[in-house]
Amino acid sequence: MTVRVSRFVNLLFGYDGRLGRLYCWLGFLAFCVITGLFVAKVEDAVAGTGDIGRYLALAVIVGTGIWIHSAVLIKRLHDRNKSGWWYLPYGIGPFVLLIAAISFYTDGLLTPAWFLFALAVAGLSSSIIELGFLRGTAGPNRFGPAP
């Protein structure tokens, strides 16, 4: 039982090793479930604490989400024989582009907004295809044995 718990914790919070496609998808499913549970319970937990309680709860939820997202993605990048630094364009880039597109759109600058939105969709699609569907490196690589 403790081995399973340890593997699950490593799946969600560890950065070492490699992760196959199936466990990558399961990691993202766990990310969605955990985030959903946090959000569902936060309103009850912070009732009556005012804005500071809500901001603290938001920081915990976002921080945990970023940690899980980065841990799963970095291990999947390791399986593709890529450094964890590739998390920046694969994991963060599409969201930064989307936020910039929304900012331009709210300022009334539609042409750059649509361009950035198209780049965000292309980047997210590329990330999903490469990390969610393409096979990892066959055999051991510099990040460890095949999962």
Residue 46 has a pLDDT of 75
Q: What is the Cα–Cα distance from 60 to 48, expressed in whole angstroms?
A: 18
How many distinct structural domains can be found in the chain? 1
Residue 41 has pLDDT above 90, yes or no: no
Residue with tokens 């980047």: 123
How many angstroms from the chain centroid is the CA of residue 56?
21
Q: Is residue 48 part of a domain?
A: yes
Q: Is residue 141 part of a domain?
A: no
Range(s) of the domain holding residue 104: 2-132
Q: Is residue 147 part of a domain?
A: no
Q: Is residue 104 part of a domain?
A: yes
Residue 137 has pLDDT above 80, yes or no: yes
Residue 120 has a pLDDT of 97
Residue 18 has a pLDDT of 95
Which is more confidently placed, 57 or 108?
A: 108
Q: Is residue 10 part of a domain?
A: yes
Give the mean pLDDT of the chain. Answer: 91
Amino acid (one-letter) located at 95: F
Q: Is residue 41 part of a domain?
A: yes
Which is more confidently placed, 94 or 35?
A: 94
What tens digit of pLDDT does each residue of 78-128 get?
Answer: 999 999 999 999 999 999 999 999 999 999 999 999 999 999 999 999 999
pLDDT, mean of residues 125-140? 95
Residue 11 has pLDDT above 80, yes or no: yes
Q: 15: which 2 tokens?
A: 């950065």
Q: What is the Cα–Cα distance from 117 to 97, expressed in whole angstroms?
A: 7
Q: Is residue 72 part of a domain?
A: yes
Residue 1 has a pLDDT of 63
Q: Is residue 146 part of a domain?
A: no
Q: 76: which 2 tokens?
A: 């999947």
Q: 103: which 2 tokens?
A: 């900012």
